[in-house]
Amino acid sequence: MLKTRFTEMVGVRHPIVQGGMQWVGRAELVAAVANAGALGFLTALTQPTPEALAREIARCRALTDQPFGVNLTLLPSLKPPPYQAYCDVIAESGVTVVETAGYKPQPYVERFQQAGIRIIHKCTSLRHALSAERMGVDAISIDGFECAGHPGEDDIPGLILIPAAAAALRIPVIASGGFGDGRGLVAALALGADGINMGTRFCATQEAPIHDAFKQAMVANDERATDLILRSYRNTARVARNAISQQVLEAERAGQPFEAVAPLVKGLRGREGLESGDLDHGIWTAGQVQGLIHDIPTVQELVSRIVAEAEAIIGGRLAAMRVA
């Protein structure tokens, strides 16, 4: 086993995290990740109400006796969800770790701290990571430019961002963006991280609650099969390339306002696609790591394989390079 500050802090066997993913972070996947010895996160806003989140936490707890957490992503909105109610459900649920992300998390961080919950905050820049550390979070998940979803606007790849964060921060760092195998785990540890976060790779597992067509597409796709949309609105998102992402890019090139693309990128539209199997119904999130995905294993098989590969590299190939 590989022991790091992160595994000791949250009480898991392996330094691997399944981060919160909208529509995907449900009990069946999260429990499988937990049972495999890694740390999985339910996604709070996948659930339509705080009460539904409480039921999903209970459902996950019935499927595993291992640690798992909840992701709460905070986004600016004219009609925001009842974030405080979601926060209260999480704080009162008995979960021991939370993943926060997004806009002005401090009030929610303080509520989780009062409940004795460990907090991992997702960042896409070193300056935001330092701010979160000052806020008192327990660990940082740092997203390199390769990541799926929102990579920020600085375009700094993980090879630079991860060691910069590890050097500047006192708290554990989880490396995110482009990870999918044991080689990536060893590289992240060598760069100073205490573990890796995987999203896209966990989507291509048997337990992921999405249509098999999307899993097969991730196997078929290579590292070029993503688009960066919404750049002109300074809300960049890396998504799988499909007919909808191409329409969004065409609208952006034409200088159209966000209102013109809003119906195309609507979250519920993406959810409908994930459930129906229509790859071109809406946008769907995937990272450049698609180029490293070649099968659809169980979560247990994936986690065990990554750890075994990492241990073999550390104890074999790297050890053999050392000359006395």
**Structural domains of the chain, count:** 2
The CATH number of residue 53's host domain is: 3.20.20.70
Phi-psi region of 152 (alpha: psi -120 to 50; beta: other; left: phi over 0): left
Residue 314 lies in a domain: no
Per DSSP bridges, beta strands 237-240 and 226-229 are antiparallel
Of 269, 70, 295, 287, residue with least CA distance to 158: 287
Do residue 131 and residue 189 come from a single domain?
yes
Residue 299 lies in a domain: no
The secondary structure of residue 97, as a DSSP letter, is E
Do residue 24 and residue 165 come from a single domain?
yes
Do residue 91 and residue 191 come from a single domain?
yes
- pLDDT at position 323: 84
**Radius of gyration of the chain measured on its C-alpha atoms:** 19
Do residue 115 and residue 245 come from a single domain?
no
Segments of the chain with pLDDT less than 50: none
Length of the chain (residues): 324
Residue 300 lies in a domain: no
Domain boundaries, position 238: 226-285
Do residue 94 and residue 241 come from a single domain?
no
pTM for the whole thing?
0.97
- pLDDT at position 1: 85
Residue 19 lies in a domain: yes
- pLDDT at position 59: 98
Do residue 272 and residue 145 come from a single domain?
no
Of 64, 52, 123, 122, residue with least CA distance to 90: 52
How far the first Cα of the chain sits from its last, in Å, is: 26
Residues 108-121 as b or e (16 or more Cβ within 10 Å = b): bbebbbebebbbbb
Residue 202 lies in a domain: yes
Do residue 88 and residue 237 come from a single domain?
no
Do residue 248 and residue 143 come from a single domain?
no
Do residue 139 and residue 259 come from a single domain?
no
CA distance 210 to 203: 8
